[in-house]
Structure 1
């Protein structure tokens, strides 16, 4: 899992990547979101636009239908955290979410959790952040 917190100018506040045991993709998305929301509270960031590339997660959070009963506790945690913030949840395609995608892939390669500030960002992530700030889309090669 992975995620990034930026201010309104697109400057990095914090980012994170973590390995997870084998799990469903939707659970990894939930864990990444929950950790990001906890980080917002820790850093006292209260006005938040949450960009998620998993449309199924947005649908789960917007409807009170439980498709995954095994994830009831993490979904409840996410909803409670979101209630404590002034936040908007929006869908963004993976190509528009290159920074978070990079961090999630990094999480697959590490053991445990890593957090990065603007000072110690991985070089490739710095480049992706620059592209985001300039409004230039990142084109993935297949």
Structure 2
């Protein structure tokens, strides 16, 4: 499973984060791989998908369930049409990655169930540009990862 998120701070710094785990989940220790990257762009969602998919493919994963918290991104990637000129380069690169020699299932996940990668993306905004790979998770994510392992999510609050 690959969870992806992007974040932007101060209008000019964007970070992306991802959490890649095998079928054993986070609790198995060695299966936890997280990454953070920072780029001077507001296209963090597209950039985070490219980083995450490339990272998973390079590590030999042949089947991925990709969780993204943007319905627009999910629908755009599942469609044959290019809906917008904005982000067109990212969409083309992501589609190129999706048709490589592997199986990728794209799913929408609410932001509340993506708390770990949301925290990683925000953490990425505070780092220097470049990719960071954590074989051991940052201690600041301990409580979020524990909640994830236990299946605890923050409920989605909507107004009536």
* TMscore range, shorter length: 0.7 to 0.9
Contact 1:16 1:114 in 2 (8 A): yes
Query: Could you tell me which residue of structure 2 aligns to residue 126 of structure 1?
Result: 142
Structure 1 stretches lacking a partner, 5+ long: none
What aligned pairs does 1:20-31 form with structure 2 within 5 A after superposition? 20-23=39-42, 27-31=43-47
After TM superposition, the score normalised by the length of structure 1 is 0.85
Aligned pair count?
A: 136
Contact 1:131 1:137 survives alignment (8 Å): yes
Aligned to 2:55: 39
CA distance in 2: counterparts of 1:133 and 1:34, whole angstroms: 26
Equivalence for 1:78: 94
- 2:68 aligned to which of 43, 47, 52: 52
In structure 2, relative to structure 1, the CA distance for the partners of 1:110 and 1:18 (3 Å cut) is same
Higher relative contact order (CA 8 A, sep 6+): 1
Q: Larger helix proportion, structure 1 or 2? A: 1
> 2: distance between equivalents of 1:16 and 1:113?
10
Contact 2:50 2:93 in 1 (8 A): yes
Partner residue in 2 for 1:100: 117
| Alignment root-mean-square deviation, CA | 1.9
- Unaligned runs of 5+ residues in structure 2 are 1-15
TM-score, normalisation: structure 2: 0.76
Q: Which residue of 2 aligns with 1:2?
A: 17
Q: Distance in 2 between matches of 1:126 and 1:9?
A: 18
- Larger strand percent: 2
The runs of at least 4 aligned residues of structure 1 exceeding 6 Å deviation read none
Counterpart in 1 of 2:32?
A: 13
Once residues 25 and 146 of structure 2 are traced to their aligned partners in structure 1, the CA distance between those partners, rounded to angstroms, is 9
Give per-residue Cα distances to partners, 1:75-117, cap 9 Å, x unaligned.
1111121122211100000010011100110111111134233
